[in-house]
Amino acid sequence: MGFGIDYQKSIATTALIFGLVFLVQALTVAPCLWLIGKKGLKFAVFWGNAAQILCYVFLALARFDPIFFLLAAIFDGIQLSLYWTAYHIYFANLTDDGNQGKEMSLNVSLGAVAAIGAPAFGGLVIAFFGYSAVFVVISILMIVAMIPLRNLPKHDDKVPLDILKTLLAISPKKEMRSLMAYAGVGVSQITTTIFWPIFVLPIVIGGLTGIGFLGSIIGLFGSMSALGIGFLVDRFGAKKVLNFVSPLDSIAGLIRMFVLTSTHVFGISTIASATSESQFLTVDSLAYARGRHSNIVAIIVQREVGLSVGRFLFLLGIGILFWFGLPLATVFVMTSLAVLASRLYPSESRANL
């Protein structure tokens, strides 16, 4: 990170800053939901993108003062609440029980098109121009992308809010299994996107450029696995697929700590990205179906709270442990246990609020 911090404390600080992101997300879900109810889904998506741009601007400025890391984390958390809460409410309403798996997998795969090329491009930009340059480029691209969103035809996309059902959906007493399931898949994603690249940086040929191409590989295989899993969900049911995929994701995550060469990194990255993406898709499929048969807004709020609180607690705990010398590889052991919690998500027969 620079600023005179050694490697071990840099990892700890990174974990704690990301922990702040998800703490802010958890705290802002309620006001963001109120805004969605008052202003609509498009309003939330637009200003979520605006918050993301500010996040990248602050990251570009962080080379001058570390306080900008904290500002970036705050706006990133606001972006997560605004954008993703609105997005999942909208998309869940579009799916149906018979074809939900296919619809979700195609949507994930289309979104992964950018994820395939972006990491490699970002790695090249960082290698030649530095971190600040990539944040500036991303900000410009996002501003351009917001122009058509701002000019979409106006229509009423406000969503009704049932306060009682929403509170019940995030009640640990009633919904602990659901919240823990999302905490588990959230931890898996955090380890894949944050700690895995840090762990393999000294191993991968090409340094930051190699890490960028590794991210593209993860995106590619995640997209391919999502396509296959979507069809399996429609054929066999999300719960059966989840019970099969979750242990595989746990094993793949644990094996990461034993990689020694770039070939090992390539192999485990492809497998882990496929199992992690598949697990996320199946839990979301269960949640979407549950929401359509009860209250979609309440279930999506449950999703966002479970993910954000689970990630925050995980990052806070390991951030403190890293500060006192915990080896980075230990995070893979913790993650391999945490991801098994995804199997706790209620089946369709037990899904009503």
Q: What are the structural domain ranges in the chain?
A: 7-350
Distance CA 64, CA 51 (A): 21
Task: Reply yes or no on whether the pLDDT at 78 is more than 90.
Answer: yes
Residue 269's pLDDT band, with cuts at 50, 70 and 90, is: confident
- Do the beta carbons of residue 329 and residue 199 sit within 8 Å? yes
Residue 345: enclosing H or E segment and its boundaries? Answer: none
- Domain 7-350: give its CATH architecture: Up-down Bundle (1.20)
**Most confident region among 87-101, 149-163, 190-204 by mean pLDDT:** 190-204
What CA–CA distance (Å, rounded) separates 81 from 91?
Answer: 16
> What distance in Å separates the CA atoms of residue 183 and residue 312, rounded to the nearest whole number?
9
Tell me the average pLDDT across 345-353.
65
Mean pLDDT of the chain: 82
Cβ(135)–Cβ(57) under 8 Å? yes
CB atoms within 10 A of CB 202: 7
Position 349 scores a pLDDT of 47
Q: How far apart are CA 290 and CA 283, in angstroms?
A: 11
- Residues with Cβ within 8 Å of 5's Cβ and at least 6 positions away in sequence, in order, are 13
Q: What is the pTM of this model?
A: 0.84
Give the range among 11-15, 25-29, 85-89 with minimum mean pLDDT: 85-89
Q: Exposed, middle or buried, 39 (CB in 10 Å: 0-12/13-18/19+)?
A: middle
**Which of 107-121, 129-143, 314-328 has the weakest average pLDDT?**
107-121
Quick: pLDDT tens for 169-186: 888 888 999 999 999 999
C-beta separation of 269 from 96 below 8 A: no
pLDDT of residue 155: 64
Query: Is the confidence at residue 23, as pLDDT, over 70?
Result: yes
* Alpha carbon separation from 142 to 18, 117, 137, 263 (Å, rounded): 22, 16, 9, 34
* pLDDT above 70 coverage of the chain, percent: 76
Contacts of residue 93, defined as CB under 8 A and 6 or more positions apart, other chains included, come to: 292, 296
Higher-confidence residue of 214 and 79: namely 79
Measured CA to CA, the distance from residue 345 to residue 176 in angstroms comes to 9
pLDDT band of residue 196 (cuts 50, 70, 90) is confident
Query: Nearest Cα to 155, choosing from 90, 82, 103?
Result: 90
Q: How far apart are CA 35 and CA 38, in angstroms?
A: 5
Output 318 or 210, whichever has higher pLDDT: 318
